[in-house]
Amino acid sequence: MPVIDLAVYTDGRRLPQVADTAELYGLRRTSGGMAWLGLYRPSAPEMEAVAAEFDLHPLAVEDAVRAHQRPKTEKYGETRFTVLRPARYDDDSETVIFSELHVFTGPGFVVTVRHAATEGVGAVRQRLESSPRLLAQGPDAVLYAVLDQVVDEYGPVIAGLQQDVDEIEDQLFGGEPAVSRRIYELSREVIEFQRATHPLIGVLDEVWAATDPDGVDKELRRSLRDVRDHVVRVVERADGFRALLQNALQVNSTLVGERQNEEMRSMTAVSLAQNEEVKRISAWAAIFFAPTVVAGIYGMNFQHMPELGWLFGYPASLALMVGGALLLRWVFVRRKWL
């Protein structure tokens, strides 16, 4: 069985180290203490063996084996099954990495099932073992400490997401072409983070309401309310990130549209300038075409052609060429082609 750690606690203090689950179960019965069993990705048969010892509900056991659950807490008789989604921010890839943690709490036992290699539960165990008074409160104290640890780990995630959002705002007006993709990818991470944090408000409300005011230390109940307040702040920050990213996506679309319009205006200006040049070239070509026609006709040198023997034929042809060219130039200037 993939056991991370196992121990029995009486009055908040750990009893001598046990070697395996069989010894854990026996020591729990003889000492009357609280057993805490930590598992890592147990198989269905392994989880069924644990369920038989602690009388866990089959539906909760199935969820713990299959994983991929949203944060929730469910009560099966005297046993509570809680699903949490711890998260951490990876600086190298600038992404949020999520894991899954299942916690069974019941009379005299706690079973934690991890589905990722995280150090959160180990830190919780060390913290509680250094505080026997809190650990003496039993499974409720362990569940509180796990919830508190998961929520505390959301702090660096919020800081990392804030940095990413700030960088996107800088890139947004820098004209970087990859900003749209980054906004989309970060939006998906924020949505996933919301799915991990939003349900925790209801989870904490239910856990707090289920604690017995007479049987549980008042400070523990106050601590649960404090964790809830932290979750509310985390949820509000996540909601703010999503709103900012939605606005950033709209602004980016507007800026892209403006850049495209500017490019279109630039292309249109170039096209108009080219049209003006074409008109000028065409006008001058037409002006020079008129003299060419006259010169071409009278340059054929046929024997029988009008005006060939006329005294004023040469000056008349020159006048015709110059007059035709001037007339065409006047027409093109009037039409603003020249």
Provide long-range contacts, Cβ within 8 A and 24+ apart, for 315-320: 320/294
pLDDT band at 308 (very low <50, low <70, confident <90, very high): low
- pLDDT-based confidence at 132, cuts 50/70/90? very high
- Token pair 């964790």 is found at 227
Q: Per-residue pLDDT tens for 309-331?
A: 666 677 777 787 778 778 777 87
Residues 98-113: what's their mean pLDDT?
94
Taking 90 as the threshold, does the pLDDT of residue 295 lie above it? no
Q: What is the reported pLDDT for 37?
A: 94
Per-residue pLDDT tens over the stretch 17-43? 888 899 999 999 988 899 999 999 999
The per-residue pLDDT for range 234-258, each reduced to its tens digit, is 999 999 999 988 888 888 777 666 6
pLDDT over threshold 80, residue 289: no
Distance CA 152, CA 168 (A): 26
Q: How confident is the model over 83-88, as a mean pLDDT?
A: 94
Backbone angles phi, psi at 96, to 5 degrees: -95, 125
Q: In the predicted model, what is the mean pLDDT of residues 123-133?
A: 92
Mean pLDDT on 46-69: 92
What is the chain's mean pLDDT, rounded? 85
Higher per-residue pLDDT: 302 or 21: 21
Buried b (16+ CB within 10 A) or exposed e, 148-179: bbbbebbeebbebbeebbeebeebbeeeeeeb
Percent over 90 (pLDDT), the chain: 49
pLDDT tens for each residue of 260-279:
677 777 777 777 777 777 77
**Dihedrals φ, ψ of 320, to 5°?**
-65, -40
What pLDDT sits at residue 324? 76
81 pairs with which residues across the strands? 74, 104
The type of residue at 219 is: E
From the number of C-beta atoms within 10 Å of its C-beta (0-12, 13-18, 19+), residue 56 rates as: buried
Q: Which residue has the higher pLDDT, 167 or 285?
A: 167
- 162-218 pLDDT, tens digit per residue, is 999 988 888 877 767 778 888 888 999 999 999 999 999 999 999 988 886 665 667
Q: What are phi and psi of 33, to 5 degrees?
A: -90, -170
Q: Say whether pLDDT at 1 is over 60.
A: no
pLDDT, position 309 = 67
